[in-house]
C-alpha cells in the first residue's frame, strides 16, 4: 500500500510512520523539518518497500499542491499535520488564529483537492483525518484549536457522504491527550493522557478496522458525551467554575 502521512516528523505522525513501516508498504512522509524526516527515513528504510520524504509547509497551499501532484497515485492519506497555539484566555492574535486554521483545516482541503479526483477515478482510496476530542467541547482557553477541529469533523463527514459510492473510505480519529511535542508544552493536568505508543496503537487499529468515527479514550469520550447532554445553563455553570 502507498501511504502519505502528513506531520510525520514527530509525535503521532512519526508513530504511525513506524507502525506502517512494513515490507509491503511504500511510505511518503511529509513535514517541514528535513533532518527529522531524514533520520526517520534512514531508520525505517530496511523495513519498507520504499520510503520518500517531502519537505513542505502545509500552509503554503500552492507549493503543497504541486508537491502532492508530483507524488501521484496513492492508496491512503493520513492527514495528521496540526498545531495548537497554547491555552490562553486572552484574545488570540488574528495571524495566529489564521495560521492554525490554515494548518489544521484548509491544508487538508488543499491536499484532497488534488487527491480526491485520483481516488474517485480509481474507485479506491482511504482518507484518515486526525481530529481531536476537544472538537466536541468548547472551552474558553482553546477557541481556535477546538473550533478548527470541529470544522474538520464537519468537513470529514461531508466528504464521507459525498464519496460513499466512489470506493473512498473516510476515517475520522478523535484522540484525547497523547504524549507528543504538542502536549509536552501543556502546563495543565491532562486527564487520561496516553503514552505515544498506546495512542498510536489505538489509531492504527482504528484505521485498519476502517472506523468511520473513532473518539478515544472511551471513558473521556463518555464524560464529554454526558456533559453535552446537560442543559446549557448547567454546562455554563460547570465551565465557568473551572475558569
Ligand X SMILES: NC(=O)c1ccc[n+]([C@@H]2O[C@H](COP(=O)([O-])OP(=O)(O)OC[C@H]3O[C@@H](n4cnc5c(N)ncnc54)[C@H](OP(=O)(O)O)[C@@H]3O)[C@@H](O)[C@H]2O)c1
Secondary structure letter of residue 106 according to DSSP: I
Shortest distance (Å) from residue 198 CB to ligand X: 12
Residue numbers 30-69 binding ligand X by CB under 6 A: 31-33, 36, 57-59
Local structure of 137: helix, strand or coil:
coil
Catalytic residue among 145, 155, 163, 214: 145
Closest to 73 (Cα-Cα) out of 130, 128, 19, 126: 126
Provide, rounded to whole angstroms, the least separation between the CB of residue 61 and ligand X: 11
Q: Is 36 exposed, middle or buried (0-12, 13-18, 19+ CB in 10 A)?
A: middle
- Choice between 198 and 231, CB closer to ligand X: 198
217 binding ligand X? (CB under 6 A): no
Binding to ligand X by CB under 6 A, coded x per residue (else -) over 159-178, reads ----------------x-xx
Residue 75 phi, psi (nearest 5)? -100, -30
- Does 11 help bind ligand X (rule: CB under 6 A)? yes
Nearer to ligand X, 33 or 237 (CB): 33
First to last CA, the chain: 47
Site for ligand X in 88-117 (CB under 6 A): 103
Q: Which is nearer to ligand X, 116 or 178 (CB)?
A: 178
Q: Does 82 bind ligand X (CB under 6 A)?
A: yes
Could you give the C-alpha distances from 233 to 89, 208, 214, 221, 238, in angstroms and in order?
21, 40, 29, 21, 9
Helix or strand holding residue 35 (H, E): helix 34-44
Query: Rule CB under 6 A: is residue 13 a binding residue for ligand X?
Result: yes
Q: Is 145 a catalytic residue?
A: yes
Compare residues 125 and 175 and give the one whose CB is closer to ligand X: 175
Instruction: Give the total of residues touching ligand X (CB under 6 A).
Output: 28
Binds ligand X by CB under 6 A, chosen from 21, 67, 108, 132: 132
Please check whether residue 5 is in contact with residue 29, taking contact to mean a CB–CB distance below 8 angstroms: yes
Interface with ligand X (CB under 6 A), residue from 3, 4, 12, 171: 12
Q: Tell whether residue 153 is a contact of ligand X (CB under 6 A).
A: no
Cα gap 226→144, rounded to integer Å: 23
- Helices 232-242, 218-229: axis angle to 10 degrees equals 120
Task: Please list the active-site residues.
Answer: 145
Contacts with ligand X, residue ranges (CB under 6 A): 7-13, 31-33, 36, 57-59, 80-83, 103, 130, 132, 175, 177-178, 180-183
Amino acid at each position: 500500500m502507498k501511504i502519505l502521512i502528513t506531520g510525520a516528523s514527530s509525535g503521532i505522525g512519526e508513530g504511525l510512520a513506524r507502525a506502517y513501516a512494513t515490507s509491503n508498504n511504500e511510505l511518503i512522509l511529509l513535514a517541514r523539518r528535513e533532518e527529522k524526516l531524514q533520520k526517520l527515513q534512514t531508520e525505517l528504510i530496511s523495513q519498507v518497500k520504499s520510503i520518500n520524504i517531502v519537505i513542505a509547509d502545509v500552509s503554503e497551499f500552492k507549493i503543497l499542491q504541486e508537491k502532492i501532484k508530483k507524488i501521484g497515485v496513492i492508496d491512503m492519506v493520513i492527514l495528521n499535520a496540526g498545531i495548537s497555539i497554547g491555552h490562553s484566555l486572552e484574545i488570540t492574535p488574528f495571524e495566529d488564529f489564521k495560521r492554525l486554521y490554515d494548518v489544521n483545516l484548509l491544508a487538508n482541503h488543499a491536499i484532497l483537492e488534488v487527491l480526491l479526483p485520483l481516488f474517485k477515478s480509481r474507485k479506491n482510496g482511504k482518507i484518515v483525518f486526525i481530529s481531536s476530542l476537544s472538537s466536541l467541547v468548547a472551552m474558553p482557553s482553546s477557541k481556535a484549536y477546538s473550533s478548527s477541529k470541529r470544522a474538520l469533523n464537519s468537513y470529514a463527514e461531508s466528504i464521507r457522504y459525498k464519496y460513499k459510492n466512489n470506493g473512498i473510505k473516510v476515517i475520522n480519529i478523535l484522540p484525547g491527550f497523547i504524549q507528543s511535542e504538542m502536549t509536552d508544552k501543556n502546563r495543565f493536568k491532562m486527564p487520561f493522557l496516553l503514552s505515544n505508543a498506546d495512542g498510536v496503537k489505538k489509531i492504527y487499529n482504528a484505521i485498519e478496522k476502517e472506523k468511520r468515527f473513532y473518539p478515544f479514550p472511551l471513558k473521556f469520550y463518555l464524560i464529554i458525551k454526558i456533559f453535552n447532554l446537560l442543559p446549557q445553563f448547567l454546562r455554563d455553570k460547570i465551565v465557568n467554575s473551572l475558569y
